[in-house]
Chains A and B, each alone.
Chain A
Amino acid sequence: MNSELIPLMVVFPLISAILLNLMHGKDRAVRVYGTLAMVVVIAVPLLAVYGNHLFGAHPAIDTPAETGIALGRINLAIEYSFGFLQRALIFLLAAIATFAVLSHTSNEKRASGVYLSMVMLSIAAVSAVVMANDIFNMFVFLEILTISQAAMVVAKGDIGGYKAALKYLIFGGVAGGAILLGIALLLGTFGVLNITDLGNALSGNTKSPIVLTAVGLLVIGWLFESGLFPFHTIKSHIYSSAKADVAALLQTETKIVLVAIAIILLRLFGGLSNMSAVMVGLSVITLAFGSVMALVQTDFRRLLAFAAVGQAGLVGIGLSLGTPDGIAASIFHAVNDALAMSLLFVTVFVIYEGAKTTEFSRLGGLLTKAPRLAFLQIIGIMAVSGVPPFNAYQSEYRLIGAAFQAGYPELGVVIILGTIVTFVALMKGFFLTFLKESTAVAAIGRPQLSNALPLVTFATMVILALVCLGIGLHPGPLYDRFADVAITLTMGV
């Protein structure tokens, strides 16, 4: 079935990016168009019909014998597939991006069209990666994503941002090269780029050294794009150098891309136990490093950045297990964690806007000045670290169950330990910011946090907190459908 709205999820943000750049300098036009565009971006994934879209209308054909492809039928066109998983992830992205756009248009004195067009480009890129059923198309949009994320960090205009972006782009160039080399090896050996076809051609063929090298290269790309172990410091550097509202968007994008690429890897090389072992191992290391590094930070933004990276490791564990339960729980946890982490990043954004610093040595005693903020932050902390009745509890509980069921009870213990360390780190941040007696903030002379709470930001925080609570109380409707997705996925393998 062909839905005409599927390409619009990518094409509309691209058109908006061009228009917003042309409007740059006309303040009012940028604000109005940016807000209206987000309405469309949110509406399209809800209205689109499930199905596949073939770009250029080229159909699948019977394979001619001269091609040497061992398949009956192959796809000629680039294909997008859109189902419940894609709708959920793109809607989540659009919702968080809407907050980033609104936060920009309502809080900044001068709206920047170029900056908003970068947000649009990253939305388009993530949507494309989520829907792409073509491995080269995924690569192209990953590159757009890398550069536009670097641009959002650079837009802050300070030297720390430049350094983070430089590191990110250099390693991004290497990771992009690795992904493309992997694609080149697969293309030369199997002759197709469509992921479904490639998965069929690969099944039972995964032992040759070329395939193993390709797996390794693609896994390197996945590790970079999702900020897992060898690249965890780069990713957390990016989060902490960006403005906190952008960081909320960045970490959401990272988690969505993590899920999307891991699913592609599972569809291609599902039967390969070595790959799963490596992916699980690196995810566990990420969880450990991220949580422990979060514990020793002296700056709230850096603390959150490392906590976000650690949670990405948690998402990676379930996906790498490759069992239906693990995949479903991981996707569910990615969504929950993106929501709860966004809430935390927004609270820190407010602290930074009010106090102009997030270093613990200069914060303290904010509880009396901003009680509402403290309340929302404690909700965020509980949601992230899996305290019932919030959403991450539901997904972490299922994740641990999946680990037990897959025959790795040790993983369950690791997950619990990681969660506890994250909770301690975040509580430390909360204590040093809100509870500790301090005269430093008074000395800065800018303690008006409660008055400085803009309506849009406050509304976002309340909505995010309510959604976290809502999913925590009624996980069924969302989780069951993720479970269906995971079952169809593993059946295909």
Chain B
Amino acid sequence: MNTKDIYEMRTVVAAVFLGIFSIFVLKALTSFEIIPGVSYVYNLQGPSIAPNMITVILFDWRGYDTLGEAFILITAVFTTGILFGRGVLGGDVKVRDTAATRQPSVVQKVFAAPLVFIIVAFGIVITLGGHITPGGGFQGGSVIATAFFLSVVVFGLRKNVFSLSHRSLETFEGVGALIYLCLGLAGLGLSGYYLYNVGADFYPGLGVAQWAVNLLSYPDATNAGIIPYLNIGIALKVLSGFCTIITVLMGAEKK
């Protein structure tokens, strides 16, 4: 039996397994009966924190999952950096920028720059209103990152509207993640539970000091507590993470 036969056999086996798998998955999905489950409890208790249930779940009940999610993005950003020479074992490898500057056409120049500012403003609105209206840190951050993409595509990496260096993007990302981690640590220090929503103080029996509650409650009509601050941290992190990835991938040498 030579290599080609083995390869063909493998293909047949893969096809058979794919067929069996498809039948099982489709059968399971079509006979699915859904119960409200724990979502009902979240919908029942959530309104006393903030109006947007999904943000409340993301940043309060399952805030720790969101921390993990943020760190997946961070891991991906670091890994992309490693791929293109930053932090490789045995010293960094410098990659030459080929997409550093571009000559935009008149139409691009006239439309891109104002559009970038509008998108950034929109992203900030989405981030800050994340606990009231649909939106949040992830969405706002990625919207702002699209503004960065637009400006990079039109003006090139070096001289674009943002003119953020790689180093400052990294610092932004670190600061965003540290905001999240440290708000969690504040909860741990004050109440004994990591990521306790100190500002909302949902369970007063834990004995959180009043000054801390006042300090960390977001000043608006809702009782959102630290959720908007977490949103801001996540937005910073997502924005700079996506910007770093696009910078690195665009900077890859076109041989």
A contact residues vs B (CB 8 Å cutoff):
2, 4, 7-8, 11, 14-15, 17-19, 21-22, 24-25, 53-59, 61, 64, 66-69, 74, 76-78, 104, 108-110, 112-115, 117-118, 121, 124, 128, 136-137, 140-141, 143-144, 147-148, 150-151, 154-157, 162, 181, 185, 187-193, 209-210, 212-214, 216, 243
Are B87 and A144 in contact, with the CB atoms below 8 A? no
Assess A114 versus B86: contact at CB under 8 Å? Given A53-B194, A57-B203.
Answer: yes
**Cβ contacts A to B, 9 pairs, < 8 Å:** A4-B192, A14-B67, A57-B196, A67-B37, A69-B35, A112-B87, A114-B78, A187-B37, A188-B35
Contacts of B92 in A (CB 8 A): 25, 112
User: What is the distance, in angstroms, from B59's C-beta to the closest C-beta of chain A?
Assistant: 9
Give chain B interface residues in 53-97, CB to chain A under 8 Å: 60-65, 67-69, 71-72, 74-76, 78-79, 81-83, 85-93
Closest residue of chain A to B35 (Cβ to Cβ) is A68
Contact B65 A22 (CB under 8 A): no
Name the distance in Å between B31's Cβ and chain A's nearest Cβ: 6
Q: Which of A2, A15, A19, A68 contacts B192 (CB 8 A)?
A: A2
B34 adjacent to A189 (CB under 8 Å): yes
Q: Do B35 and A110 have beta carbons less than 8 Å apart?
A: no
Inter-chain contact A155/B88, CB cutoff 8 Å:
yes
Question: B4 in the interface, Cβ–Cβ < 8 Å?
Answer: no
- Chain A residue with the shortest CB-CB distance to B85: A157
Contact of B32 with A by CB under 8 A:
yes
Q: How far is the CA of A67 from the CA of B41 in the complex (A)?
A: 7
Asked if B178 and A69 sit within 8 Å, CB to CB, the answer is no
Counting CB contacts under 8 A, is B1 at the interface?
no
B27 in the interface, Cβ–Cβ < 8 Å?
Answer: yes
Q: B34 is contacted by which of A15, A19, A77, A188 (Cβ under 8 Å)?
A: A188
Q: Which of B25, B38, B194 contacts A76 (CB 8 A)?
A: B38
CB pair B35 A191 closer than 8 Å: yes
Say yes or no: is B44 at the interface (Cβ < 8 Å to chain A). Answer: yes
Q: How far, in Å, is A192 (CB) from chain B's closest CB? A: 5
- A22 to B28, Cβ gap below 8 A? no
The reply to whether B89 and A78 form a contact with Cβ atoms under 8 Å apart is no
B198, closest chain A residue (CB) = A57
Extra 9 A-B pairs, beta carbons < 8 Å, given A157-B85, A185-B28? A11-B185, A56-B61, A104-B89, A108-B89, A140-B69, A189-B35, A190-B35, A210-B32, A213-B28
CB contact between B24 and one of A8, A57, A213 (< 8 Å): that residue: A213
The answer to the question of B193 belonging to the interface, with a C-beta cut-off of 8 Å to chain A, is yes
Cβ of B206 under 8 Å from chain A: yes
Asked if B188 is an interface residue, CB under 8 A from chain A, the answer is yes
A112 to chain B: which residues have CB within 8 Å?
87-89, 92
**Least distance between B19 CB and chain A CB atoms (Å):** 14
Q: Whose C-beta in chain A lies nearest to the C-beta of B20?
A: A216
- In the complex, per-residue mask of B173-197: 1 if CB is within 8 Å of any chain A CB, else 0: 0100110010011011001111111
Check: B36 CB closer than 8 A to any chain A CB.
Answer: yes
Chain A contacts for B178, CB-based, 8 A: 15, 18
CB within 8 Å for A181 and B25 given contacts A114-B82, A193-B38: yes
Query: Closest approach, in angstroms, between the C-beta of A79 and any C-beta of chain B?
Result: 10
Classify chain B's interface size: 35 or more
A212–B25 CA distance with the chains assembled, in angstroms = 10
Q: How far is the CA of A452 from the CA of B9 in the complex (A)?
A: 48
| Pair B194/A55 contact, Cβ less than 8 Å | yes
Chain B residue contacts of A21, Cβ below 8 A: 78, 170, 174
Q: Does B33 contact A (CB under 8 A)?
A: yes
For B71, the chain A residues whose CB sits under 8 A away are 14, 17, 121, 124, 144
| B72 contact set on A, CB distance < 8 A | 140, 143-144, 147
Residue of A nearest to B40 (CB): A67
| Bound-state Cα–Cα, A193 to B38, Å | 9
A58 with B61, Cβ < 8 A, contacts A115-B82, A140-B68, A213-B24 known: yes
In the complex the two chains form, what is the Cα distance from A256 to B144 in whole Å? 40
What residues on B are CB-neighbors of A154 within 8 Å?
Answer: 79, 82-83
Tell whether A24 pairs with B86 under 8 Å between CB atoms, given A67-B36, A137-B64, A137-B68: yes
Whether B79 and A150, one on each chain, are in contact in the complex, defined by CB atoms closer than 8 angstroms, is: yes
Quick one: closest A residue to B45, CB to CB?
A76
Which residues in B have their C-beta under 8 angstroms from that of A243? 89
User: Contacts A22-B174, A76-B38, A209-B27 known; A151 to B79 CB distance under 8 Å?
Assistant: yes
The 8 A CB mask of B219-243 against A (1 = contact, 0 = none) is: 0000000000000000000000000
Is A56 a contact of B197 with CB atoms below 8 Å? yes
User: What 9 A-B pairs have minimum CB-CB distances, sorted nearest first?
Assistant: A191-B37, A114-B87, A68-B35, A57-B193, A213-B28, A140-B68, A7-B194, A151-B79, A157-B88
* Chain B residue at minimum C-beta to C-beta distance from A194: B38
Question: In the complex the two chains form, what is the Cα distance from A209 to B40 in whole Å?
Answer: 25
User: Which of chain B's residues have a CB closer than 8 A to the CB of A109?
Assistant: 90-91
- Is B28 in contact with A56, judged by CB distance below 8 angstroms? no
| B214 contacts partner chain A, Cβ-Cβ < 8 Å | no
Q: Is the CB of A151 within 8 A of B82?
A: yes
Contact partners of B31 in chain A: CB under 8 A = 209-210
B38 A155 Cβ-Cβ under 8 A: no
Residue of A nearest to B60 (CB): A56
- Chain B, Cβ-Cβ closest to A70: B35
Bound-complex Cα distance A411 to B69 (A):
41
Residues of A within 8 A of B67 (CB): 14
* Contact assessment for B35 and A56 in the assembled complex, using a CB-CB cutoff below 8 Å: no
Partner of A56, one of B76, B171, B195: B195
Q: Which of B34, B72, B76 has the most CB of A within 10 A?
A: B72
- The residue on A at minimum CB distance from B91 is A110
CB distance from B240 to the nearest CB of A (A): 12
Q: Please tell me if the beta carbons of B86 and A136 are within 8 angstroms of each other in the complex.
A: no
